[in-house]
Chains A and B, each alone.
Chain A
Amino acid sequence: MKQFWEKISKNRYYQMVFKNPFTYITGAVLLSITQIALFAYSGNPWGVSGTFANWGAWLYELFGGSVEKWFYFSSTGAQNTLQAGILNHTGTMLNVGIIFGALVATLLASQFKIKKIKAFKQIVAAVLGGLLMGYGARLAGGCNIGALFSSIASLSLSGWVFAAFLLVGAFIGSKLLAKFFM
């Protein structure tokens, strides 16, 4: 059995598909094809962070809250999505698929590892960064998938505006990173 796995791990095609990282070009082509397929199937461009807001609303409703009066969820479309429930939500399937797919990919490459947290400031940075990104993504009407990738793919000017300010944010972020983590 051990021999069998060793043989597979040396196989050229295993290494090409599962073990070695894809080039940026391969990744870009695969992303483009799958996002076209998604658009054709669901009628909506790919987005990630909008789903988190829905998850929050469902969680809030689970504890007896109501978001009907909230401006963010006031449109009929948003209400219909919430009423259809989490199991009928394409965005939820996609996000769960990303997490599950990433796990499968790292297992197939046998690169799975539970990493140690090196310093407390890593937790602080992750929590602060996550909150800022989530809040910013809702204000901007999308994250780097919905507002950047899908917008540019839809030939929308807003995607390019988002890109310009993404660069500003990345510049400030990298300065902060160098200041606190180097």
Chain B
Amino acid sequence: MAEYELDCMGEACPIPLMKTEKKMETLVAGDVLVVHIDHSCAMKNVPEWARKQGFNVEVEEVDDGEWDVIIEK
């Protein structure tokens, strides 16, 4: 039940999604990954991909134009 963080601030699409996909591979079921993003397309395609994989996803708006995508494997 470990919690990991992935800093994708300042990265444009599709880098946040590619990094998230790669990182999620290393997690085991029950682990949580928090992805920090400031690119609005990533706020759409990262949760979309994660939900398709069957993970629990929550998006939190932390500041103007900044989000945390919380993914539970």
- Which residues of A are at the interface with B, using a C-beta cutoff of 8 A? 21, 106, 110-113, 115-118, 122, 174, 177-178, 181-182
List, in ascending order, chain A residues with CB within 8 A of B9's CB.
115-116, 118
- The one of A106, A112, A117, A178 that contacts B10, using a Cβ cutoff of 8 Å: A117
CB distance from B30 to the nearest CB of A (A): 26
* B:28-61 near A, CB below 8 Å: 38, 40, 43-44
Q: How large is the interface on B (under 10, 10 to 19, 20 to 34, 35 or more residues)?
A: 10 to 19
Closest beta carbon of chain B to A117's beta carbon, Å: 7
Residue contact B65 to A113, C-beta cutoff 8 Å: yes
- Chain A nearest Cβ from B49, distance in angstroms: 15
8 A-B residue pairs with Cβ-Cβ distance under 8 Å, sorted by A, are A21-B43, A106-B40, A115-B10, A115-B38, A118-B11, A177-B15, A181-B11, A182-B19
Among residues of A, the one whose C-beta sits closest to the C-beta of B41 is A21
17 more A-B residue pairs beyond the given contacts A106-B65, A111-B64, A113-B38, with a C-beta to C-beta distance below 8 A: A21-B43, A110-B64, A111-B40, A112-B64, A113-B64, A113-B66, A115-B10, A115-B65, A116-B9, A116-B10, A117-B10, A118-B9, A177-B15, A177-B18, A178-B18, A182-B15, A182-B19
